[in-house]
Chain A
């Protein structure tokens, strides 16, 4: 499996991830996991479990950057890029550990409206995420296929078993409307929408 990934061109790997292949992400994970864990545990103050978490986060970060078109013209290998993300994640983990330790030593009672606002937006995003996950089948699948995997309506109709793209489009519209109504009904969202 490792050889299989190493034989692929970086651009081919990126295209596969962009097209929504989870399999390629899993192959990358398997191919480079052990090497990363050994390096992380040896060179940083992290446990193996923390290193695993970091590497999983890095894979998700790679997926996010590929989808956002940030790695279209990658000049290094995919492994170098992946380890680069992982290194950043690990540094953030270490920084967070330090901050958590120091937080109890330097307690500030000043209010920061910027932080409060961010906290509220995070709360709103979490609420929307929960309502989206609760909307059930087939709405969740349709919205995921449209917004995350970027399928066209013909493909969605085929996957869900609808007669044609128009039926899928109508269903997507109904799902969105229902979900947005539920979001607007929530007290937290009322002041925004």
Chain B
């Protein structure tokens, strides 16, 4: 049995007494094994917590549905008011975006993707996703990128795809997940700053873009400096 499966069965309480004693003695004597068990324990706990959050969200939805069904008149006023609000907001957002469109496009550094490679099925999905990206079919690209293991490359191109289709929350999440030291860090940080700016979260955009300006050798550093000095 693989060590990983053994840890699972130990934590799920599926092993017999003798095996449990052997595992516990290994935990006491082998710090590296102990760390693996602890990591798995925390991971399982996090999965439980994530599911409980989802369950609570579903109960909240159900609650809203119950309220809607019991207060149809009140709700119809609320729907009318909400619709009016949405329309006014949408008009405002449209005018704001039209005004800013060229500005954001000017700073959106061209990204032509990376050459295709062939190999495992994961690579194959990546290749197809990258082809969609290159032909600017961003929704399809994003959908496929999401289904494969999230390397920095995948996170970066998922982020760019999400940004291009206006899924700014997803773009922020992808760019934020790329850590310092990665070859994608500078351009991901630049695009994170750009995305915050597009969301009008200038206070978040500024520190991120300041960090990018430290990279004086790339156009990302230059552009970040331009945004900070000319646009904010």
Contact = CB atoms under 8 A, between A and B. Distances in A.
| A-B interaction | yes
Interface of A: 22, 25-26, 29-30, 33, 52, 56-57, 59-60, 63-64, 67, 124-125, 128-129, 131-139, 143-144, 147-148, 173-174, 176-180, 182-187, 189, 192-193
Interface in B144-164: 146-150
Given A26-B58, A180-B40, A193-B35, 9 more contacts: A29-B62, A56-B59, A59-B59, A64-B48, A67-B48, A125-B42, A131-B177, A132-B43, A135-B150
Interface stretch (B21-29, B49-57, B98-106, B214-222): B49-57
What range describes how many residues of B lie at the interface?
35 or more
Interface of B: 2, 4-5, 35-36, 38-40, 42-52, 55-56, 58-60, 62-63, 66, 146-150, 173, 177, 179
Contacts of A132: 43, 46-47, 50
B74 to A, nearest CB: 14
A70 B168 CA distance: 43
Nearest to B177: A134
A134 B154 CA distance: 12
Contacts of B60: 56
A29 B56 CA distance: 11
B147 A173 contact: no
Nearest to B155: A134
A176 B4 contact: yes
Contacts of A184: 39
A124 B46 CA distance: 9
Contacts of B179: 185-187
